[in-house]
């Protein structure tokens, strides 16, 4: 019998009602000052609680981890109070929710940083692109990212500690799990990639050294909870935020082996085609599968058909949907009934209010 997308799935300590995951989605609507989840986010997440698992928008583990205007944090008491309302609402609706722990590294701008300092990265190498800051009148404004400063070796313990602290805050806020964001050209990926990491100490050079920070962070998160409540997201292949990592395959497979040793609950693979790249090869999927035996979640331009094909080929256990979940709070039902999907409104993805956020219609 083929495995159904609509069948339950054991993920670490949780049993999910189905294998349709809401992908982490940046929406830039946190309350200011303080980067506190807003009341409208309670409605937004609760509307989508029929997903097997909701993964929250990426949330900075410290003020330094912020790279875009109005993204929420998970380090202050006020943020925990805001998130608690969201996790309570999701649980009341029968759902489960993980929070994605984020540090952007060099994808930032001094106006978003504590004391207007420079963003940090593995090396002082620029990401030649733009990010979104709070411009005049609080309106989003696109600006070039700053050339970062290299994180000093003596700052790394504090950085790792910010993930430990964020994990404790996530537990207090009532999340069911945490997901470490180690993808998409953000800080941990900046360390993984030889393109952005020119360090000559224990965190640079060899593949093992470049993977070190990701694994140290993961170990700190596991130590603050347990591996059954921890997942991680990587994007070893494909282009995003200035990284086009030719050696990504080797790094992806090495990391998968390391994740297996730590027995974490899931590996969330962000596939290149979500950002316009080619579809991942079955060969790479098979290699990854051999190394990591836990739950594998695929993400990247998924449709019901793509998800069922990969599920039945045994190459994934669950599929994450992003843009379709923005536009369809009842995506699970729509996929089950092969109902038409509401089209997303990309101009309302980032910033703003309820429009394009909580007002997408349900099936009647």
When asked if residue 184 is in the footprint of ligand PHB (CB under 6 A), the reply is yes
- Residue 12 contacts residue 264 (beta carbons within 8 Å): yes
**Residue with smaller CB distance to ligand PHB, 65 or 334:** 65
Which uninterrupted H or E stretch holds 266?
strand 266-270
Subset of residues 274 to 313 that bind ligand PHB, contact rule: CB under 6 A: none
**Judged by CB under 6 A, does residue 164 bind ligand PHB?**
no
Cα 78 to Cα 30, 83, 96, 177: the distances in Å are 12, 9, 22, 20
**Contact between 101 and ligand PHB per CB under 6 A:** no
214: contact with ligand PHB by CB under 6 A = no
Residues with a catalytic annotation lie at 186
Instruction: Please state the closest distance from residue 25 (CB atom) to ligand PHB, in A.
Output: 8
Closest CA to 301 of 274, 335, 332, 334: 274
In the DSSP assignment, the letter for residue 326 is H
Residue closest to ligand PHB (Cβ): 26
CB of residue 289 to ligand PHB, shortest distance in Å: 23
Q: What's phi and psi for 123, nearest 5 deg?
A: -140, 165
Number of residues that bind ligand PHB (CB under 6 A): 5
Regarding 68 and contact with ligand PHB (CB under 6 A), the answer is yes
Among 17, 18, 26, 193, binds ligand PHB (CB under 6 A): 26
CA–chain centroid gap for 287, Å, is 23
Among 23, 30, 51, 58, binds ligand PHB (CB under 6 A): 58
Nearer to ligand PHB, 26 or 47 (CB): 26
Q: Which residues contact 315 (CB under 8 A, 6 or more apart)?
A: 282, 285, 286, 289, 296, 298
Contact residues for ligand PHB, defined by CB under 6 A: 26, 58, 68, 183-184
């Amino acid at each position: 019998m083929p495995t159904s997308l609509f069948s339950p799935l054991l993920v670490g300590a949780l049993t999910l009602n189905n294998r349709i995951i809401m992908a982490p989605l940046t929406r830039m609507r946190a309350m200011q000052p303080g980067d506190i989840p807003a009341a409208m986010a309670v409605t937004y997440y609760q509307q989508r609680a029929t997903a097997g698992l909701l993964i929250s928008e990426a949330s900075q583990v410290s003020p330094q981890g912020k790279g875009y205007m109005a993204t929420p944090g998970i380090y202050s008491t006020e943020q925990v109070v805001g998130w608690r309302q969201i996790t309570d609402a999701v649980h009341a609706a029968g759902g489960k929710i993980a929070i994605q722990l984020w540090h952007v590294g060099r994808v930032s701008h001094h106006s978003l940083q504590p004391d207007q300092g420079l963003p940090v990265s593995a090396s002082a190498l620029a990401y030649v692109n733009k990010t979104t800051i709070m411009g005049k009148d609080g309106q989003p404004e696109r600006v070039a990212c700053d050339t970062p400063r290299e994180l000093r070796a003596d700052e790394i313990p504090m950085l790792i500690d910010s993930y430990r602290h964020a994990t404790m805050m996530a537990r207090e806020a009532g999340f069911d799990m945490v997901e470490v964001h180690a993808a998409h050209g953000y800080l941990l990926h900046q360390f993984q990639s030889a393109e952005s990491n020119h360090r000559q100490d224990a965190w640079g050079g060899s593949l093992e050294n470049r993977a070190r920070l990701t694994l140290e962070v993961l170990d700190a998160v596991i130590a603050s909870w347990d591996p059954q409540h921890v997942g991680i997201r990587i994007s070893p292949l494909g282009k995003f935020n200035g990284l086009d990592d030719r050696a990504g395959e080797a790094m992806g497979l090495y990391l998968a082996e390391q994740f297996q040793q730590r027995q974490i609950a899931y590996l969330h693979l962000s596939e290149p085609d979500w950002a316009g790249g080619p579809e991942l090869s079955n060969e790479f999927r098979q290699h990854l599968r051999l190394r990591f035996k836990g739950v594998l979640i695929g993400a990247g331009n998924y449709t019901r058909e793509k998800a069922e094909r990969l599920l039945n080929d045994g190459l994934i256990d669950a599929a994450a949907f992003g843009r379709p979940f923005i536009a369809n709070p009842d995506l699970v039902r729509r996929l089950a009934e092969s109902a038409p999907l509401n089209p997303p409104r990309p101009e309302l993805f980032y910033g703003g209010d309820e429009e394009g956020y909580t007002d997408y219609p349900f099936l009647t």
